[in-house]
Structure 1
Amino acid sequence: MNNRYHSLDVFRGATVALMILVNNPGSWSHLFSPLKHADWHGCTPTDLVFPFFLFAVGNAMAFVMPRLREAGDMVFWRKVLKRTALIFGIGLLLNWWPFLQWREGELVMKHWVNPADPSSGIRILGVLQRIALAYCFASILVYYLKEKWVIGVSGLILLVYWVLCATFGGSDPYSLAGWFGTAIDKQVLGVAHLYKGEGVPFDPEGLVSTLPSIVQVVLGYLTGRYIRAQGSVEWLWPKSRPSAEPIYSMLSGLFVVAVLLVLLGLFWGLAFPINKKIWTSSYVLHTTGLALLTIGTMIWFIEIRDVRNGLTRFFDVFGKNPLFIFVLSGALPRLLGLVRVGDTTPLRWFYTEVCAKIPGPPEVGSICYALAFLALCWAICFLLDRKGIYIKV
């Protein structure tokens, strides 16, 4: 296999593509079931997208961390803190973007806290902010601790989070009303800066639930380390005997661990339900196991069987500028939302006048709009790739 591992690039690109697809439907009222998040407990295909991306962040760390160790502590801290601040800041600005909004027929500024409603304001946290925080703390763990300690600390984090939820939650500690993390978010961030999509102030990317997401990045890193070793476990257990067939040994290891994690997540979910919105420990294990199965399958087809086709090239383009295109996919609709075409906006007009009129149930028009928007994002990534422009953070 190549040292670059094209399969990991395809995995990252596919994750970004799915993030764009599920975040940009024609109508949130018309979604096919697999494109919906679970109402609360449970895990749909859409609930796999975000943890898969965090897992991919950890994979990439496995290839960067050796260079940071060679460069020393000063370079490590400068690199990690700068990247954390940039990603967090971009996420915060994206929540505020485009700083204007239509209200009663005129454009007005979007205030940090709405003067007419002190309980409403700009959300502080979000997807990019969670990526930034999880990346930062995971980087510190894997930089300063040996792999055995990293595994131990990661397990401890998941167990402690379970204990905290069970101890400080209400009579139903894993419910929307009973989860203890909301009270902390309200105290630290303020009600005005929390997500209101559940009908009450509750942030699915809140401070406390970021804790187990750190482990998601760490597990991605450990997987990347294992893949780089091509199946040899000498880096973790020095006395182990190297396999005579390292590539197949590596894949066997990935699949065995994947099945164990999926089953362990399901078993733990009987007591600590699998739940994306509070990012439960069982959810971390379950989704990581599924990520391992996905990566193992991609390695088999792409690296070993050398399957390279239009589909892999399509996703690989997204993997070249993942954060940039994700930010653009959120910023562009909001910017175009300021443009009026009669009493609607350009993208809304395209949905209602073109996509919504496609024969079939309304879900067909909604997903056709999402696919068209995804194609637009791909075209932008393709042009950047052709010109050799890669926007890194």
Structure 2
Amino acid sequence: MNQRYYSLDVFRGATVALMILVNNPGSWEHIFAPLDHAEWHGCTPTDLVFPFFLFAVGNAMSFIMPKFQKEGTAYFLKKVLKRTLLIFLIGLFLNWSPFVMYKNGQLVAKTWTWLNNDNGISGIRIMGVLQRIALCYCLAAFIVFFSKNVWSKVISITILVGYWLLCLGLGSKADPYSLSGFFGTALDLHLFGTPHVYKGEGVPFDPEGLASTCAAIVEVIIGYYVGSYIQKKGKSYEMLANLFVAGAIVILVGYWWDMVFPINKKIWTSSYTLYTSGLAIITIAILIFCIEFKNAAGKWSKFFDVFGKNPLFIFVISGFLPRALGLVRWVENIGPDGKKVYTTPFPWFYNHICKNIVSADLRYGSLLYALCMIAFYWLIVYMLDKKKIYVRV
């Protein structure tokens, strides 16, 4: 990437670093409020990670789309569909991993894989973060490639408004934006079946379901147009000022829409798309001002930059490694009933090194563990960067 767009690399890397921070607390029961998702409506800093990542996907697309258009439709379809399929399958692999488990103290292959026949209600989740990224990337690329600029913007507005109307028309009359009233859950259950949707909310409900993916597509498209605009205008104060103005307007529209269509990550409302896109635009503008205009790049930007060079790899490894290391266990003590109590590497590190750094408030130990995880994964991508190894799909 051209040096004058180095800030976009830093933006992507900082998003990955924040993702590791919020996904790896020492204890999910001891988290500072900004590092946890909003319970339902609303938006915390943690709720910015996923939309910022999709926004960065759109930025990256703006650099490759001219080549797609030059090479033609066949080349475009081959590249985009292949990448979509690979990312989706990698996400499914993460949901399925690590393929083995402990049973009666022995490590054995899972007795069930796609569906647990013992209870009939648990199985491999089909959707997930990478699966949503794959679908959003694919559909956003199709919209941008096959439609003119004006039409792609019209399509984006139609998606946002149409999704709102679907929520109103097909959702619960009492509260169409509630966990029980959201229409998309019925669609996911019908297409995937109860065993294959997320159940972390206490009931079958998938925060990366198909219906709520609609509005997320627009996040990528907005990222694409912001990236294209930055390239078109180049390093100028006019470009920078327009980014700040555009970001502020998009945030205000998101806030306005929030009054009737609440900002909500878990059902990815249209107001949430606009609000987070506006914040992403302003964040990009601040980074451009600091790095490109004030030459403030240094060790801090290099730290995030290496994350940005291998974003997919570090996302996958940070999801897979804890599961794989969870199979490496040893006896920590014997319980009162005489049963062995096991521990594994990462929990041992939290409980014995980080947990009681401030015994009166375990949130500090949980945060220290998350920061250690950032440092650990940074060392991995730093070594890859030193060897010029960049994992692409």
Same-fold call, TM cutoff 0.5: yes
**Match in the other structure for 1:152:** 154
Contact 1:324 1:391 in 2 (8 A): yes
Partner residue of 1:269 out of 258, 277, 289: 258
Deviation of 1:230 after TM superposition, in Å, equals: 1.6
1:196 matched to 2:199? yes
Contact 2:167 2:176 in 1 (8 A): yes
**Match in the other structure for 2:267:** 278
**3-state SS in 1 of match to 2:205:** coil
Q: Deviations along 1:121-150, whole A, 9 cap, x unmatched?
A: 111110000000000000001111111111
Distance 1:181 1:107 in 2: 38
Distance 1:348 1:48 in 2: 27
**Match in the other structure for 1:163:** 165
**3-state SS in 1 of match to 2:180:** coil
**3-state SS in 2 of match to 1:101:** strand
1:296 matched to 2:299? no
Partner residue of 1:254 out of 234, 243, 263: 243
Residue identity matched to 2:71: A
**3-state SS in 1 of match to 2:261:** coil
Percent identity among equivalent residues?
59
1:44 matched to 2:44? yes
Distance 1:216 1:263 in 2: 16
Q: Deviations along 1:267-314, whole A, 9 cap, x unmatched?
A: 100000000000000000000000001000000000111111211010
Deviation of 1:105 after TM superposition, in Å, equals: 3.2
Residue identity matched to 2:346: L
Distance 2:145 2:124 in 1: 34
**3-state SS in 2 of match to 1:291:** helix
Change (3 A) 1:56 1:230: same
**Match in the other structure for 1:392:** 392
Runs (4+) off by over 4 Å: 1-4
Residue identity matched to 1:324: F
Stretches of structure 1 lacking an aligned partner (at least 5 in a row):
232-245
Distance 2:286 2:150 in 1: 26
**Match in the other structure for 2:336:** none
Deviation of 1:378 after TM superposition, in Å, equals: 0.3
Contact 2:4 2:292 in 1 (8 A): no
Residue identity matched to 1:47: D
Q: Deviations along 1:148-193, whole A, 9 cap, x unmatched?
A: 1111110010000000000000121000000000000000011000
Contact 1:341 1:349 in 2 (8 A): no
Change (3 A) 1:4 1:145: farther
Contact 1:318 1:325 in 2 (8 A): yes
Deviation of 1:2 after TM superposition, in Å, equals: 4.9
Deviation of 1:357 after TM superposition, in Å, equals: 2.2
Distance 1:292 1:341 in 2: 48
Change (3 A) 1:103 1:203: farther
Contact 2:184 2:211 in 1 (8 A): yes
Question: Greater shift after overlay, 59-68 or 96-105?
Answer: 96-105
**Match in the other structure for 1:345:** 344
Contact 1:329 1:377 in 2 (8 A): yes
**Match in the other structure for 1:235:** none
Distance 1:200 1:101 in 2: 25
Deviation of 1:227 after TM superposition, in Å, equals: 0.4
Contact 1:3 1:228 in 2 (8 A): no
Stretches of structure 2 lacking an aligned partner (at least 5 in a row):
332-341
Contact 1:34 1:44 in 2 (8 A): yes
Aligned residue pairs: how many? 379
Deviation of 1:260 after TM superposition, in Å, equals: 0.6
Distance 2:358 2:43 in 1: 30
1:174 matched to 2:163? no
Contact 1:165 1:179 in 2 (8 A): yes
Deviation of 1:4 after TM superposition, in Å, equals: 5.1
CA RMSD of aligned residues (A): 1.2
**3-state SS in 2 of match to 1:354:** helix
